[in-house]
Structure 1
């Protein structure tokens, strides 16, 4: 083979390699990143369960406005990210859980703090005694969908409505006089359909402004650091009392409560009940 032929072959090879690399890069850019609320999910007979990821039956898409706009107290699609006052609200998602919820309740009771629990319908049905304990201790109950389906917002209005009503019914079966005033969308994946259903059912869409990502089980120190540094007057703090090993959350909460009480007034979100 002549020298010119070899040079030509080398040029062609280089061009083809460049084209293949460009095609690969383009393909990667067209694949959306997976929302953290949709990874590694499993379910059990007693509702959503996950090792270090939030529960989900199938992948979801994050809200287009995932970063809360706290200037007016609203975030994605107008969901609340502020208490509307100088007070701070602690919220706990995905329970109740027979191991972790009692530990969270005990700490809150120890420091005289009331919080808001966003419960999953399947878990509320499985552990009604825990729902009763939450209510009896003066905490606010919030609807967090029937089985933590992050794709719920993509479903038909009838399906969304049935899901939220079924969850409300499970809460009311445990606490007949409960006033469920709030709904928190799994993964924060708000859609116009969910917002419209909330309006029809008289539920206030509840988002958050402080997220220590405790569902990733990053350890108590990391959870504590985020909550301490990001919490300010009016913050709604997101944590979890179910869905996996929540020892880090419990330990962080034990350290945080006395400090937060020294800086803020902690309140349960008001239900508006008479």
Structure 2
């Protein structure tokens, strides 16, 4: 595992970090404890817990107590449902419950998703600053990629941006990252493997009427290479690509199996194979051209 500075905080975080939230196969604190231990054994020291699951908070908290608190970066995410305002009391109850269940003492980062931010009451915005000033949450962050996130970046009231980024990300996503970086925000990339490519297999080779293979460059300009790069899975290629962006402090993943975490945590120590970077750019250009033709 490699580590990167988390802005000016003085902390170093693992290049691959974990977003933890409810999962059907994680029904006990012991399951979450084992998952957190597995991640730490793979070098992961940055975790973001999504509010709402006491079982998860207790299990992860048990694992984190086995190491020095200063060596772990712990974030707490508050989610909005888009239908009711987010009050200062609601934030207070969530944060204090999270700190109690994890035993963390403080959160390195308090994250609002874009729905929560969009429905913050004025008093809640002030309370966020009070939490930061009081040391219960050392930094404030937002997550998402909608219009509310652009407002957060321009307002300069948040320290951290967590936003989707992958090899299909359009110019707006890249523009948002540039603007956040210019505002000295710490940036974490999420969802590095685009769902649109998850079920695509390799491009089949075309053959002539005589059965001979033709068009040796079949698939060039597409994302077929994701499934054809020897020794690499599509997920690993996508993570390695995201890691080439110097603005990112970490690449945030969701994984619930120890062997998956161990495999993906090894990606920062690997270099993209020769030619893959060029294939990515050709595929992006091809996708953009296709989008223009459809428009």
Q: State the TM-score, normalized to the length of structure 2.
A: 0.44
Decide which structure has the larger Cα Rg and report it. Answer: 1
Q: State the TM-score, normalized to the length of structure 1.
A: 0.47
- Ranked by relative contact order (alpha carbons within 8 Å, sequence separation 6 or more), the top structure is 1
